[in-house]
């Protein structure tokens, strides 16, 4: 086995782990072999580090669990001053408007009063990278919303992916430690393409569903504006009679879904590491704010009991074909922050912040998050009074309590009374309007077990994979090969391929071939036999749900001296009508002189405005301009990258020499090349750009595609 010179591996053979499912739980037990016993900080031996303490396998997490409390407490406080995760973030203000009442299901006014406009703040983020990392890392994206409702603040702390890596919050420190830079060398940054992460995943089969999502194009979104959002967990809605209905929350972008391709992501990070931030800022600043439809999946106990998987398992989804998403409102993000630190950096989200009428399920990851987040805010913001910071203050309702003093206290109760009950007056409980937890019966022994209903780790991973189009499946294979190729230890690569065999043997073979493994490893032993009868779900594919419009996108127009003014103006007019945006790229920063004698100022200088920054490109060149640009490396890269990244390319006849120098002959011009001979062609070109990518081209420009087709 090849390993780094500085890695001190006492036993190069992986420690054997026995997986047991008993009494409703999956339990990992280390073999003997002189392995040191895991202990708490107090030296107390730990019997189970895989499961938090619950009242029965599917019960609530108990405060008594001192091991989980200490572990998550230490994790929450291990870094200052930036967030341990989601450090690289960007936030904006907006407004949520309810369009359909859920009054029969909940007393939450934000979900029952149609037409009610609720101010909100949303923060988008990557997970693994530090505050200074680049926007286009392959990663999950945080999608956290704070609603300033009339009943208090409601924080819906979601992601752009509806599942998570782990089933129990006790494993969160391990997941993040494994994904972050290695503690001895402090790299790689904002990447999971390294041994520690994949070692953890290879020993954590419950993560394989999430791996399918993070290796898909969902993990390299084109823009925050083109991402879905999910509350991830199963929550409860509680009505006036105390009846509970399960709910999952969804945010669907009006502009549709879109991602970049991997080579493009790498180059965007070099050209503009703030790409997502700039895109969101510019869209709002130009008066075209993004809008999301807000939807819910509602289901009762009868459905939960009959569903193929456990609705408390955060590594599972409920396909929209089984429970359709009911659109009940919308939110628009249209107001930029005044100060990044005061708002985006100091905003504090807590999953336990819910309003009357919204409650929790016994999802063990959600229960652990509820416990953890308050600790995190204390460490980051330095005081229990972080709610006094304006961005965190409730806006739709007054705040009255007897909490006092502490670092950075901005308000204290007035008068003599600072306790309750008292005889002096002041705020009192309100049994009618006050928050009431759902009265769910809890029975069971105090155990550290994973429910047997959580034991299927591969079936939905397979469902996700077969729901993708062939090109999306190819991208998942490409991503796995790339990530695992960065792992030095071959045994880690082999174990991951063994897990993939339980998902799709063709995918496993593709990855094994890409890694040049001498033979296909045996399939990992599953806790329960994976199912192969789950139907594909079109809702899981980006390509199947393409918007079919270029609205909200950006066109890059490369222009030279002597180019057609009529054509440039026609392209601008067609783009603005959608609406979408465009930028003119010129060889020099002063702009160009068009064929009608007008000076047209460029937005970007050619070597500072590569084609990776645009969703499509147009080459509006004169003969002399094209001849000059054909000698320029940046110009050739502009065209070659647009071609390699499968973009639509509009071109004037005079641009042919530049295309040729970029390695694109007439035979290479597929249907995504649109001739711009006259001004009237601009509208047709912009309409064609609505397809966003010409996916068939990838099969012609990627050697991996050749290898996969040859199998």
Q: Just list the catalytic residues.
A: 86, 159
Residue 296: CB atoms within 10 Å = 25
Classify 659 as helix, strand or coil: helix
Q: What 3-state DSSP class applies to 20?
A: strand
Which contacts qualify for 430-433: CB closer than 8 Å, 24 or more apart? Answer: 433/151, 433/356
Residue 231 is given by DSSP the state -
Task: Residue 619: count other Cβ atoms within 10 Å of its Cβ.
Answer: 28
Closest by Cα among 621, 584, 622 to 601: 584
Give the Cα separation of 580 and 577 in Å (integer): 7
- Nearest partner of 530 among 561, 562, 508, 559, judged by Cα: 508
Per the CB < 8 A criterion, the answer to whether 205 and 457 are in contact is yes
Distance of alpha carbon 577 from alpha carbon 570, whole angstroms: 11
Residue 674 three-state SS: strand
CA angle 277, 278, 282 (to 5 degrees): 120
Give, in order, the Cα–Cα distances in Å from 449 to each of 53, 54, 596, 702: 8, 8, 77, 47
Which residue is it, tokens 């005889």? 423
Taking alpha carbons only, the member of 394, 352, 355 closest to residue 375 is: 352
CA 696 to chain centroid, in Å, comes to 27
Distance between start and end Cα atoms, the chain: 28
Cite the beta strand spans of 473-527 per DSSP E: none
- d(CA 232, CA 214) in angstroms, rounded, equals 15
The DSSP annotation for 527-545 comes to SSPPPS-PPP-GGG-SGGG
Comparing CA positions, the residue from 196, 173, 89, 108 lying closest to residue 147 is 108
């Amino acid at each position: 086995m090849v390993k780094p010179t500085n890695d001190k591996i006492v036993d190069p053979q992986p420690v054997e782990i026995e997986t047991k499912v008993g009494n409703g739980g999956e339990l990992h037990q280390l073999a003997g072999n002189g392995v040191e016993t895991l202990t708490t900080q107090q030296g107390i031996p730990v019997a189970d580090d895989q499961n938090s303490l619950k009242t029965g396998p599917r019960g609530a997490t108990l405060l008594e669990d001192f091991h989980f409390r200490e572990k998550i407490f230490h994790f929450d406080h291990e870094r200052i001053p930036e967030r341990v995760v989601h450090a690289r973030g960007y936030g904006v203000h907006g407004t949520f408007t309810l369009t359909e009442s859920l009054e029969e299901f909940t007393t939450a006014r934000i979900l029952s009063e149609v037409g009610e406009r609720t101010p909100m703040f949303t923060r988008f983020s990557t997970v693994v990278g530090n505050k200074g990392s680049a926007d286009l890392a392959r990663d999950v994206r945080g999608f956290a919303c704070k609603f300033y409702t009339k009943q208090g603040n409601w924080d819906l702390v979601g992601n752009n992916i509806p599942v998570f890596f782990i089933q129990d919050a006790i494993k969160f420190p391990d997941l993040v430690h494994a994904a972050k830079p290695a503690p001895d060398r402090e790299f790689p940054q904002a990447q999971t393409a390294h041994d520690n992460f994949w070692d953890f995943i290879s020993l954590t089969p419950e993560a394989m569903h999430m791996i399918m999502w993070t290796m898909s194009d969902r993990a390299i979104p084109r823009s925050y504006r083109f991402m879905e959002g999910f509350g991830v967990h199963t929550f409860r809605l509680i009505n006036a009679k105390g009846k509970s209905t399960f709910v999952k929350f969804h945010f669907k972008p009006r502009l549709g879904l879109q991602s970049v391709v991997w080579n493009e992501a790498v180059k965007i990070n070099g050209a503009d590491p703030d790409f997502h931030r700039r895109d969101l800022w510019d869209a709002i600043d130009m008066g075209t704010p993004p809008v999301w439809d807000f939807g819910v999946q509602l289901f009762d106990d009868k459905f939960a009991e009959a569903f193929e998987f456990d609705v408390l398992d955060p590594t599972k989804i409920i396909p929209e074909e089984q429970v359709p998403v009911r659109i009940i409102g919308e939110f628009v993000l249209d107001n930029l922050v005044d100060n990044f630190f005061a708002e985006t950096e100091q905003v504090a989200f807590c999953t336990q912040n819910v309003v009357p009428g919204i409650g929790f399920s016994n999802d063990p990851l959600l229960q652990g998050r509820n416990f953890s987040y308050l600790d995190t805010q204390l460490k980051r913001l330095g005081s229990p009074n972080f709610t006094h910071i304006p961005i965190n203050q409730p806006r739709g309702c007054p705040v009255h309590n007897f909490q006092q003093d502490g670092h950075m206290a901005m308000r204290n109760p007035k008068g003599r009374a600072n306790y309750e009950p008292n005889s002096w007056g002041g705020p009192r409980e309100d049994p009618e309007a006050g928050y009431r937890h759902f009265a769910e019966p809890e029975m069971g022994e105090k155990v550290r077990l994973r429910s047997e209903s959580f034991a299927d780790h591969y079936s939905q991973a397979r469902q996700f994979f077969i729901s993708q189009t062939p090109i999306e499946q190819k991208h998942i294979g490409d991503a796995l090969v790339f990530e695992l190729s960065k792992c030095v230890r071959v045994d880690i690569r082999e174990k991951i391929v063994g897990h993939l065999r339980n998902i799709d043997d063709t995918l496993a073979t593709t990855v094994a071939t890409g890694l040049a493994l001498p033979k296909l490893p045996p399939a990992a032993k599953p806790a329960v036999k994976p199912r192969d009868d789950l139907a594909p779900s079109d809702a899981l594919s980006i390509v199947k749900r393409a918007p079919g419009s270029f609205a909200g996108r950006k066109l890059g127009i490369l222009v030279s001296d002597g180019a057609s003014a009529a054509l440039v103006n026609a392209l601008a007019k067609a783009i603005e009508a959608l609406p979408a945006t465009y930028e003119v790229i010129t060889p020099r920063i002063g702009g160009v002189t068009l064929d009608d004698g007008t000076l047209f100022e460029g937005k970007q200088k050619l070597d500072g405005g590569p084609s990776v920054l645009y969703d499509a490109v147009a080459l509006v060149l004169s003969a002399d301009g094209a001849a000059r640009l054909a000698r320029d490396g940046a110009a050739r890269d502009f065209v070659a990258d647009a071609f390699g990244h499968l973009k639509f390319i509009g071109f004037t006849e005079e641009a042919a020499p530049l295309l040729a120098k970029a390695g694109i002959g007439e035979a290479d011009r597929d249907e995504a090349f649109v001739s711009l001979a006259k001004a009237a062609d601009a509208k047709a070109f912009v309409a064609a750009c609505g397809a966003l990518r010409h996916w068939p081209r990838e099969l012609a420009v990627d050697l991996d595609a050749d290898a996969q087709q040859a199998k």
